[in-house]
């Protein structure tokens, strides 16, 4: 089962995405948002294949989490999908995201993106 970290601070959006992903058979983890370093630590403990990360969180920027994750010296690096209501595609890729989704997005678009990112390297 593919494990996905969902980092979204809007409760309604988080619940809708969690339900969608669980119905598709993914294991979804929605960590609390204490600070970027704790979230990066949880990512390295849990080893999700994919992190869906809102670029605009209440307490800090999703870009902070992405930067901390990409700078970490641990070998494990999940695929990161950054999301935002603003078109931050260029900034997201420059920061190290594997993909960007502009909100609102169709559920099929997210699911297809996850499937493409979850394919093991070399397949």
Q: Is 6 in a helix, a strand, or coil?
A: strand
Q: How many CA atoms lie within 13 A of 86 on its CB side?
A: 7
DSSP alpha helix (H) spans, the chain:
11-23, 36-46, 62-71, 89-95, 107-117
Report pLDDT digits (tens) over 3-35. Answer: 999 999 899 999 999 999 999 999 999 988 778
Closest alpha carbon to 101 in 9, 114, 38: 114
Strands 50-54 and 27-29: unpaired
C-alpha–C-alpha distance, residues 96 and 116, integer Å: 17
Contact 29, 6 (CB under 8 A): yes
Which residues of the chain are under the pLDDT cut of 70?
A: 73-74, 120-123
pLDDT number for residue 75 = 76
pLDDT number for residue 80 = 97
pLDDT number for residue 6 = 97
Edge-to-edge strand ranges of the sheet holding 79-84: 27-29, 3-7, 50-54, 79-84, 99-102
pLDDT number for residue 72 = 81
pLDDT number for residue 74 = 67
């Amino acid at each position: 089962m593919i494990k996905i970290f969902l980092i979204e601070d809007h409760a309604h959006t988080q619940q809708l995405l969690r339900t969608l992903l669980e119905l598709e058979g993914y294991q979804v983890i929605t960590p609390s948002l204490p600070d970027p370093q704790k979230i990066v630590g949880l990512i390295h403990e849990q080893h999700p294949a994919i992190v869906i990360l809102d670029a605009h969180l209440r307490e800090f920027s999703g870009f902070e989490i992405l930067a901390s994750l990409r700078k970490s010296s641990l070998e494990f690096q999940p695929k990161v999908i950054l999301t935002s209501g603003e078109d931050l595609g260029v900034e997201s890729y420059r920061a190290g995201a594997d993909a960007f989704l502009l909100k609102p997005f169709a559920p099929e678009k997210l699911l297809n993106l996850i499937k493409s990112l979850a394919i093991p390297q070399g397949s």
